[in-house]
Amino acid sequence: MELSDLGFDDWFRRQGEPYGSEYRMARVTAVDRDRYLVRNDRGEVPAEVAGRLRFSAESSVDLPCVGDWTAIQDHDAGTLAIIHHILPRKSVLRRKSAGRKSEYQLISANIDVAFIVQSCDRDFNLRRLERYLVMVNEGRIAPVVLLNKADLVCGHDLEQKIRETERAGIAGRVLGFSAKTGSGLDRVQQELERGKTYCLVGSSGVGKTTLLNRLLGREVFETHPVREQDGRGRHTTSRRQLIVLDGGAMLIDNPGMRELGVIGIGAGLDESFSDIHELSEGCRFRDCTHTQEAGCSVLAAVESGELSEERYRSYMKLMKESEHHERSYVERRRRDRAFGRFIKSAMRPKKRKNG
């Protein structure tokens, strides 16, 4: 595999020139807290961020994210890479951190095209589409709108939705298809170009995972963990988040991408699942999680067939993602505080010995 197969084009080549032969270029394929995987023409190895880069970082934006091109040095006979520099980013996918207004969280970098996925049935929502378009455009990523689940609407409906979407002033293409039946999928596949990087964004339940599995060839996200050894000699696994598809196009899918679909879900969840919200008012416990509680009206409705199991499952999936989002935010804050204390103690002036 050449660097160009991973997206290293003339633009990046120029950005990398100042680093000279001391460094090699590699693309970040996975991030898990402070652990990384990087890939280049020699293969894929675990990586760590050089202390200098870590301590000069003013926020997470200054640290590598999935898709970044970095200047690395090999360590331990090429089994570990140290990331010294991040090359300028051609594009970014980011979102505002929950809570703080001015702070951004980087989800991935150097994406050429974002597929914004909506489904033709319940999820079809131009306002939501607009929000995704703003985010994608701000990040200098080209959008392509995908309307999935075309099998659930008639051809006339689909045409109308495509026209509605186009009329809303969308610069990119709008394609209707069905990830389930495969109809129209060839047009989605035709969008994929060798050496270019793509991602799928959109609300939970629109069919991103189904489409992802359709597009996957040899490499598989979920079942292709890369084994590595951490500092204490334990074997751990990192999940690859940037993969090269059979046709040579790259696809990024990471937890941040998944959480994108859950922005501001709090009120929205009750709104889009008003039937379940209504049912839940009959639950015996006010804080019922609708998973196992006695006297749960939601479970009773699934049992009786009043509520379809599919709808119940997609509700629970969304709930879980939004809870996960909350949790990871709390965890992040906790880590930040611990890190702040560490910095303080490290910067405390050392006592002079000769006094």
Question: Which residue in the set 170, 174, 283, 307 belongs to the binding site for Zn ion (CB under 5 A)?
Answer: 283
Question: Which residue in the set 26, 86, 144, 179 belongs to the binding site for ligand GDP (CB under 6 A)?
Answer: 179
Q: Which part of the chain contacts ligand GDP (CB under 6 A), choosing from 15-23, 56-64, 145-153, 334-342?
A: 145-153
Residue 51 pairs with which residues in a beta bridge?
none
Question: Which residue in the set 95, 122, 173, 180 belongs to the binding site for ligand GDP (CB under 6 A)?
Answer: 180
Residue 352's SS3 state is coil
Q: Which does 122 bind (CB under 5 to 8 A by kind): Zn ion, ligand GDP, none?
A: none
- Least Å distance between CB 311 and Zn ion? 15
Within 10 angstroms of residue 20's Cβ, the number of other Cβ atoms is 8
CA distance 229 to 327: 27
Q: Which does 288 bind (CB under 5 to 8 A by kind): Zn ion, ligand GDP, none?
A: Zn ion
Nearer Cβ to ligand GDP (76/323): 323
Q: How far is the CA of 330 from the CAs of 33, 56, 269, 338, in angstroms?
A: 14, 24, 21, 13
24 binds ligand GDP (CB under 6 A): no
Question: Which residue in the set 206, 299, 307, 319 belongs to the binding site for ligand GDP (CB under 6 A)?
Answer: 206
Helices (H), the chain: 10-16, 51-56, 126-138, 155-167, 185-190, 208-215, 255-260, 265-272, 274-280, 297-304, 309-347
CA distance 65 to 28: 7
Given a contact cutoff of 8 angstroms between Cβ atoms, the answer to whether 201 and 114 are in contact is: yes
Q: Which part of the chain contacts ligand GDP (CB under 6 A), choosing from 75-83, 204-212, 226-234, 336-344?
A: 204-212
151 binds ligand GDP (CB under 6 A): yes
Residue 85 pairs with which residues in a beta bridge?
71
Q: Which does 145 bind (CB under 5 to 8 A by kind): Zn ion, ligand GDP, none?
A: none
214 binds ligand GDP (CB under 6 A): no
Residues 6+ apart with CB under 8 A from 145: 115, 116, 118, 129, 165, 170, 172, 173, 174, 175
- Least Å distance between CB 151 and ligand GDP? 5
Give the interface with ligand GDP as residue ranges (CB under 6 A).
148-149, 151-152, 178-180, 204-210, 310
